[in-house]
Amino acid sequence: MQDDDRLNRFRSEIRAWLEENCPAEMRDGRITDDAICWGGKNWEFSSDAQRSWLERAAARGLTVPRWPAEYGGAGLSRAEEKIFLEEMERINARPPLKSFGISMLGPAMLQFGTPEQKRHYLPQIARGEIRWCQGYSEPGAGSDLASVQTRGEDMGDHWLVNGQKIWTSYADKADWIFALIRTDREAPKHKGISFLLIDMDDPGVTTRPIRLISGASPFCETFFDNVKVPKDRIVGEANRGWDVAKYLLTHEREMISSGGTGLSGGRALGAVMAQMAGEPSAQDPVLRAAAIRCEVDALATGLTIERYKDMAEAGKGVGNASAMLKYMGTELNKRRHELIMSACGSAALEWDGPVGNRAADWLRTKANSIEGGTSEVMLTILARRVLGLPGA
Amino acid sequence: MDKLVKSEDEAMLADNARGFLDEAAPVRALRDLRDAGRTHDPALWRRICDMGWAGVLIPEDAGGADMGHAAAGVLAHEMGRTLACTPFLSSAVIAATILRRIGGERAKSAMAAIAAGELTHALAIDEAHKFAPEATAMTAERHGNGFRLSGKKCFVVDGGFADRLLVLARTGEEGLTLFDLPADRAGITRTAQGMIDSRDAARIAFENVEATGDDVLGQVGGAMTALKPGLEAGQAALAAEMSGLAAGAFDMTVGYLKDRKQFGQPIGSFQALQHRAAHLWCEIEVTASAILNAGRVLDTDPNEATLAVSLAKARATSTAQLAVMEGVQMHGGIGMTDEYDMGFYMKRARVGSEWLGDYGYHAEQVAALRGM
Ligand SMILES: Cc1cc2nc3c(=O)[nH]c(=O)nc-3n(C[C@H](O)[C@H](O)[C@H](O)COP(=O)(O)OP(=O)(O)OC[C@H]3O[C@@H](n4cnc5c(N)ncnc54)[C@H](O)[C@@H]3O)c2cc1C
C-alpha cells in the first residue's frame, strides 16, 4: 500500500514534469531514425525542440532512467521506470535520446568498468555528447564471432591495432567505437580477445559506408591501420574481453527484441488496420485472421518481457533468456511488418508514398533476426544451454 | 497487480502438487482407467478433495482454502502435466466461481459440498459442435410457478457422472437463464460420449424437465452475471491445464532426444531437431506468461479479465497443439503407438482446444477488445 502511494506520487510528479518539459513537437510518437536524437559531437539537431528535449531530459537523468545519478541517470527503480515509460507513451513522446552507448556499452561498463571509467564515459553517454558504435563483426567472423582476427599487438604502453570490421552501424557518424580485438593469438579463440575503446578520430581509423536494401546507408566497413590504443582504454581484463562481449550481447538482444513489442511497435499493426478501415484490405478475412494471430502473439510476447524482468528483479536466474526474447521478438516484428505491407497494398510500394516510408521500415526489420546474433544462433544457444541437448 | 512471478506459496503448491500427482495420477492411471472402460476415478478425486484442492476458489467460511485463480492455475497446470483425470475444472473452478458470484446461504452450502468432495457439478452449455453460449436454443418455458426445460446439450464435460448440472436455457423474451438441477431429475437422459481423450463427456436430453424458481441461479434472464465469471475462470484454468500438458509432452520429447540414438549419436545432437525443440520451448515460455497474467488479472480485476483470459486460452491452444505435433514427430514411429503415452497428450490437447471456446473464438475476443 505504502509502495502504491509512493508510486502514485511519482506518477503525478513525472506527469507534471513531462507536461512542462516535453516540447509539443516531440509528442508525435515518431521513432524512426530521422525523428530520434542519437547524439554525438557531429549531431545536427533537426529542431530546437529536439535539442531542448534532450537537454531537459538529460538534466533530470531521464535519458538513462535506471542508471545511478552519479553517472548521469535518474536512479529509478524498475517500477518507476515503467511508470515513466507509460507516461511517455500516454503523451506519445519521442524518446529524448537513443544510442548504442545507452543500450550496449553503458550496461557493460556499469558491470565491468573501473570507477574512473564509469565517471568518465557514462555521463557523456547520458548527455548524448559522445556517440558510440559497435565493432564486433568482421568479414570472417559473423555468427562465429569469437574468431575475430583484427589484432592488437602489445607495444608496452599501448596496443597497435590492425584489421577490419564490417557491418558497423553508424561508424561514419560515431565518435568512438568499442571493439573486439585479438590481443593473444596463441590462446584458444575465446581467451585471446580484449574489449577496447577506440577514438574514431585517431590516426589510422577509416570507414566506408555500405548501402542497404532499404536505400539507407547506416552501416560501414571500418578499417584500423596502425592505430595506437592506450592501455587504459580497455573494459575488463586483457584477453578476457569475451566475457564483456557476451554480457553486452544480452543487452543488445533485449534491445532488439523489444522493437517487436515496445511502445510504438506493439500498436503499429492495429493502427494500420484501423487506418485502412475503408480500404479493401480491411475486408480481407485472410489478412484479418493473420493480423489477429499476430496481435495475440505480440500481447503474449510483451507479457513475457514483463515476466522476465519481474523474474530478474526477484533474483531468479534468467540466463540465456535474452536469446529467447531476441528470437521471438524479432521473428514477430518481421511478421508484423509483412502484414503492415499487405494491409497498405500498393500504397506502400513507393518510397515515401502516401502511407509514409513503410517499405523502408519493412525492409529494415529483416535485419532484426540477423543483427546481434541470428535466429539460428539463438535457437542453438537455447537448445544447448537451456534444454541441455548434446553438441554435434 | 502482483508480479508475473510465482509467489513462494504458489511455487510450494506446485511442488507439492507435482509430487502428489506423479505418484497418484501419472498418465498410467488414465490408461488404466480407459482400459477398465471408466471415465472417472472417485478415489483419486477423494484424495484431491482431502488435500483441499477442490476448495481452491471457495471462501474459508464455506470450507474452502480461498487461494485464488493464479493458484487454481498452478494446480491445473500440474494436473495437465500428468493428464490427471478429475472434475477439477467443472466443479472446483467453474461451478465454484459461479456459486460464489451468486452468494447467499444456499450457494454457500453448495460450495461447502464441492470443497468437501460430496458433490460434483458439470456445466451443460454446448448444443452444436462449437462453443457459442449466446446462441443457446434450449428452452425454459414458464409453467405455473416454475419452468419446463426442453432441449439437447452435448459435450457436457464430466456430465456422465456429475451429481448436479448447471444448465443454460432460454426463457422466452427474458433471455438466458442458468439452472442448477440434480442430474437425476425426471426427464433428464444422459448418454455417454466415447471421447478420444478417454475423459468423461455426455450428451444430455431434457424432456419437459420441471424446475422451480429455487433452481434458478441468479436472475431469470440474467445468466451471464454469474456464468461469465465462471466461464472465464474455467477458460483460464483450462489454459493452465493445457500449458501443463504442453510442458509434459515437451519434457518427454526432450528426454527422448537425449536417449534415442541414430547414426551413432543421440538424435538431439541434430541441429534440425534442436531448433524445433528450442522453438517449441520459446512458445511454451511465451504462453506461460499469458497464463500467469490471466490468473493475476482474475484475482485483482475479475470484471475486466476477458482480454487476459482469452489471450491465455488462445495461446495455450496453439502451444499445446504444437507441442503434441512436434512431440509425435520427434519420437518417430513409437510416438504413434498406443503403448506410448504421447498419444494421450495429443488427444487431450484436441479436446482441450475445443472446450470452452477454440482458438478462433478467443482470438476474436482479443481482436474485439483491441479494436481490430
Ligand atoms: C542492419 C545490421 C546492422 C548490424 N550492425 C552491426 C554493428 O553495429 N556492429 C557489428 O559488429 N555487427 C553488426 N551487424 C552484423 C551482425 O551481427 C552479423 O551480420 C550477424 O552476427 C551474422 O553474421 P554474418 O552476417 O556473418 O552471417 P553468417 O554468420 O555468415 O550467417 C549466414 C547464415 O548462416 C546461418 N548460420 C551461421 N552459423 C550457423 C550455425 N552454426 N548453425 C546454423 N546456422 C548458422 C546464420 O543463421 C545465417 O542464416 C549488423 C548486421 C545488420 C544486418
* CATH code where residue A202 lies: 2.40.110.10
The 10 Å CB-count burial string (b at 16+, else e) for B149-173 is bebbbbbbbbbbbbebbbbbbbbee
User: At A349, phi and psi to the nearest 5?
Assistant: -90, -5
CA-CA distance, B123 to B164, in Å (whole number)? 9
**Predicted pLDDT at A317:** 65
- B269 neighbourhood in chain A, CB within 8 Å: 389-392
**Predicted pLDDT at A282:** 79
Q: Judge if A250 and A367 occupy the same domain.
A: yes
Structural domain total, chain A: 3
Angle in degrees, CA A179, A181, A185, rounded to 5: 170
For residue B226, the one-letter residue type is A
| B34 neighbors B199 (Cβ within 8 angstroms) | no
Q: Judge if A375 and A362 occupy the same domain.
A: yes
Kindly state whether residue A116 falls inside one of the protein's structural domains.
Answer: no
Q: Judge if A248 and A367 occupy the same domain.
A: yes
- Locate cell 532499404: which residue? A214
DSSP classification of residue B155:
E
| 3-class DSSP assignment, residue B246 | helix
Kindly state whether residue A304 falls inside one of the protein's structural domains.
Answer: yes
Q: Judge if A276 and A382 occupy the same domain.
A: yes
Q: Judge if A354 and A285 occupy the same domain.
A: yes
Total CB pairs under 8 A between chain A and B: 119
Distance, CA of B239 to chain centre: 8
For residue A350, the one-letter residue type is E
| B85 neighbors B120 (Cβ within 8 angstroms) | no
Q: Judge if A378 and A252 occupy the same domain.
A: yes
Kindly state whether residue A113 falls inside one of the protein's structural domains.
Answer: no
Q: A143, A149, A207: which to mutate for ligand 1, most atoms within 8 A of CB?
A: A143
* Nearest partner of B156 among B126, B179, B178, judged by Cα: B126
What is the domain range of residue A358?
A: 244-386
- A306 neighbourhood in chain B, CB within 8 Å: 4, 289
- Listed as own residue / partner, the contacts of B44-51 with beta carbons closer than 8 Å and 24 or more positions apart are B44/B84, B44/B85, B44/B86, B45/B86, B45/B87, B45/B117, B45/B120, B46/B117, B48/B86, B48/B88, B48/B117, B49/B115, B49/B116, B49/B117, B50/B117, B51/B20
- Locate cell 561508424: which residue? A171
Kindly state whether residue A39 falls inside one of the protein's structural domains.
Answer: yes
Q: Judge if A357 and A255 occupy the same domain.
A: yes
| Protein residue closest via CA to atom 41 of ligand 1 | A377
Kindly state whether residue A172 falls inside one of the protein's structural domains.
Answer: yes
The three cell numbers locating residue A274: 484501423
- Quick one: which atom of ligand 1 is closest to the CA of A372? 17
Tell me: pLDDT of A32 over 80.
Answer: no
| Protein residue closest via CA to atom 40 of ligand 1 | A377
Tell me: pLDDT of A31 over 80.
Answer: no
DSSP classification of residue A282:
G
Query: What's the mean per-residue pLDDT of chain A?
Result: 92
A303 — pLDDT class (breaks 50, 70, 90)? very high
Distance from CA of A368 to the nearest CA of B (A): 17
pLDDT in tens, A96-136: 999 999 999 999 999 999 999 999 999 999 999 999 999 99
| Protein residue closest via CA to atom 51 of ligand 1 | A371
Tell me: pLDDT of A263 over 70.
Answer: no
- Between the CA of residue B93 and those of B104, B217, B233, B239, B348, what are the distances in Å? 18, 16, 6, 13, 19
**Predicted pLDDT at A262:** 47
- A257 neighbourhood in chain B, CB within 8 Å: none
Among the candidates A71, A106, A141, a domain finishes at: A106
DSSP-assigned states of every residue in B160-202: TT-SEEEEEEEEGGGEEEEEEEETTSTTEEEEE---TTS--EE
Angle in degrees, CA B60, B62, B66, rounded to 5: 35
**Predicted pLDDT at A264:** 44
CA-CA distance, A144 to A126, in Å (whole number)? 32
**Cα A148 to averaged position of ligand 1 atoms, centre (Å):** 13
CATH of the domain at A92: 1.10.540
ipTM metric: 0.95
Would the CB atoms of A303 and B293 count as touching at under 8 Å? Answer: yes
A314 — pLDDT class (breaks 50, 70, 90)? confident
CA-CA distance, B15 to A269, in Å (whole number)? 41
User: Which residues is B206 bridged to in the sheet?
Assistant: B151, B188
CA-CA distance, B337 to B66, in Å (whole number)? 42
| 3-class DSSP assignment, residue B142 | strand
Q: Judge if A166 and A270 occupy the same domain.
A: no
Question: Which residue in B275, B292, B371 is closest to A274 by CB distance?
Answer: B371
**Predicted pLDDT at A147:** 97
Q: Judge if A209 and A263 occupy the same domain.
A: no
Residue A7: burial class (beta carbons within 10 Å; 0-12, 13-18, 19+): middle
Q: A98, A99, A167, A170: which to mutate for ligand 1, most atoms within 8 A of CB?
A: A167
CA-CA distance, B122 to B159, in Å (whole number)? 5
**Residues of chain A with pLDDT > 70: what percent?**
96
| A35 neighbors A50 (Cβ within 8 angstroms) | no
CA-CA distance, A329 to A257, in Å (whole number)? 4
* Nearest partner of B168 among B220, B130, B243, B239, judged by Cα: B220
Kindly state whether residue A120 falls inside one of the protein's structural domains.
Answer: no
Tell me: pLDDT of A191 over 80.
Answer: yes
Domains within chain B, CATH numbers bracketed? 8-120 (1.10.540.10), 123-221 (2.40.110.10), 225-369 (1.20.140.10)
CA-CA distance, A379 to B274, in Å (whole number)? 7
**Cα A141 to averaged position of ligand 1 atoms, centre (Å):** 8
Q: Judge if A176 and A74 occupy the same domain.
A: no
Among the candidates A220, A239, A258, a domain finishes at: A239
For residue A364, the one-letter residue type is R
**Cα A209 to averaged position of ligand 1 atoms, centre (Å):** 18
* Nearest partner of A135 among A19, A241, A293, judged by Cα: A241
Would the CB atoms of A295 and B370 count as touching at under 8 Å? Answer: yes
- Listed as own residue / partner, the contacts of B227-231 with beta carbons closer than 8 Å and 24 or more positions apart are B227/B98, B227/B133, B227/B168, B227/B176, B227/B178, B229/B97, B229/B98, B229/B101, B229/B302, B230/B94, B230/B95, B230/B97, B230/B98, B230/B101, B230/B123, B230/B166, B231/B94, B231/B133, B231/B356
Would the CB atoms of A270 and B370 count as touching at under 8 Å? Answer: yes
* Nearest partner of A333 among A380, A375, A373, judged by Cα: A375
CA-CA distance, A330 to A375, in Å (whole number)? 8
Who's near A79: CB < 8 A, 6+ residues apart? A3, A7
Pairing mode of beta strands B164-171, B121-124: parallel
Would the CB atoms of A307 and B288 count as touching at under 8 Å? Answer: yes
For residue B225, the one-letter residue type is T
Q: Judge if A47 and A137 occupy the same domain.
A: no
Longest dimension (CA), chain A: 70
Would the CB atoms of B292 and A383 count as touching at under 8 Å? Answer: no
Would the CB atoms of B278 and A297 count as touching at under 8 Å? Answer: no
**Predicted pLDDT at A260:** 53
Tell me: pLDDT of A49 over 50.
Answer: yes
User: Which residues is A259 bridged to in the sheet?
Assistant: none
| Ligand 1: lining residues by beta carbon, under 6 Å | A 133-137, 142-143, 167-169, 219, 367, 370-374, 376-377, 380
Kindly state whether residue A303 falls inside one of the protein's structural domains.
Answer: yes
Kindly state whether residue A315 falls inside one of the protein's structural domains.
Answer: yes
Would the CB atoms of A304 and B285 count as touching at under 8 Å? Answer: yes
B-interface mutation test, from A305, A307, A330, most B Cβ less than 10 A away: A307
| Protein residue closest via CA to atom 48 of ligand 1 | A374
Choice among A80, A138, A252, A331 that is catalytic = A252
CA-CA distance, B123 to A264, in Å (whole number)? 42
Helix H or strand E encompassing A132: strand A132-135
CATH of the domain at A273: 1.20.140.10
CA-CA distance, A186 to A174, in Å (whole number)? 32
Region of A284 (left: φ > 0; alpha: ψ -120 to 50; beta: rest) is: beta
pLDDT in tens, A338-387: 999 999 999 999 998 888 888 988 998 999 999 999 999 999 999 999 99
Q: Judge if A205 and A299 occupy the same domain.
A: no
- A314 neighbourhood in chain B, CB within 8 Å: 3, 5
Among the candidates A239, A257, A274, a domain finishes at: A239
* Nearest partner of B314 among B345, B281, B282, B352, judged by Cα: B352
| A253 neighbors A121 (Cβ within 8 angstroms) | no
Q: Can A252 be counted among the known catalytic residues?
A: yes
Distance from CA of A114 to the nearest CA of B (A): 34
Q: Which segments of chain B have a pLDDT < 50?
A: none
DSSP-assigned states of every residue in A78-95: HHHHHHHHHHHHHTTPPP
